[in-house]
Structure 1
Amino acid sequence: MSLPACATVTRGSSQQFTVESTPPGAQVSTSNGFECQATPCTFRMPRKDAFRITVAKDGYVAQIHEITSSVSGAGGTAMAGNLLIGGIIGGAIDATSGAMNDLKPNPLVVTLRTPAEEAAAARTPAATTTSGDQ
């Protein structure tokens, strides 16, 4: 008997996703409805969907980050094995469940800045080098 949806069985369709911040204690909310009141925090998130995350703390500028969902090395390997052993049906289950994907970046590490720090960073020109300058 074949093993359908090998990646779905071995990796699951969700994963732990961690948010850390400096300073700690920031609130976190995601575009797909997850929240935590104070970093660091960990969610159990579906592997298949990208989402937007907002990290905010009183006295600091809120940050928004995009979290992507893409095929991981382990997920691709499980999918390849599934296609060889489990066939097209198992491969289709893995593809639609998101089991072969990973959320990136994970963990998300955020450094929050005060409005004054944000303004100072905006005024500081980026370091540039030109070829030929000595």
Structure 2
Amino acid sequence: MKKIFALLPVVVALTACATVTRGTTEAFVVETTPSGASVTTSLGLSCSPTPCAIPKVKRESEFTVTIAKEGFETTTHNVTHQMSGGGGAGMAGNVILGGGIGALVDANNGATQELVPNPLRVTLQPAAPAVAAAPAASEAAAMAEAPTS
């Protein structure tokens, strides 16, 4: 009986293993080529200049990331989540040690998940020159107004 009481604190400490060892948030990292871009997310979080990290993003989040830099095309990317190796190991620890409550906690709070892609690596494309498009439009308008015989 004394052995059971001696093991009780260990079992209680190991319930929700992924929550304890990994937490429910992670840093989301954005790297761009070239660097120096601004990053905003649909979660209302942002960072700049790249490379940069947004700390404490919930592991089970799904959001869009918009990357902008003057002279380059603005891009938007989707970020989702998936079961991580470390989260799966934490969940397995719960099941093996009989921590059914811990397994439920880990499964419901996102501790078993990871953001993907993370880090988000993006190569920015130069923006098309606005000056080149303007003369073509002017020429088209002039030709449309020219009298035809």
* TMscore range, shorter length: 0.7 to 0.9
d(CA) in 2 for partners of 1:98, 1:37: 27
Identity of aligned residues (%): 49
Structure 1 unaligned blocks of 5 or more: 118-134
What letter matches 2:65 in structure 1? I
* Moved >3 Å (runs of 4+): none
- CA RMSD, Structure 1 to Structure 2 (Å): 1.5
d(CA) in 1 for partners of 2:73, 2:63: 20
The structure that has the greater radius of gyration is 2
d(CA) in 1 for partners of 2:81, 2:98: 24
Q: CA deviation at 1:99?
A: 0.8
Question: What's the TM-score once normalised by structure 2's chain length?
Answer: 0.73
Find the partner of 1:104 among 94, 107, 116: 116
- Higher helix proportion, which one? 2
Q: CA deviation at 1:84?
A: 2.1
SS at match of 2:101: helix
Q: 1:90 to 1:25 in 2, by over 3 A?
A: same
Give the number of the structure with larger relative contact order, counting CA–CA contacts within 8 Å between residues 6 or more apart. Answer: 1
d(CA) in 1 for partners of 2:94, 2:62: 24
Q: CA deviation at 1:74?
A: 1.4
d(CA) in 2 for partners of 1:53, 1:20: 12
Aligned to 1:73: 85
SS at match of 2:128: helix
Q: CA deviation at 1:106?
A: 1.2
Question: What's the TM-score once normalised by structure 1's chain length?
Answer: 0.81
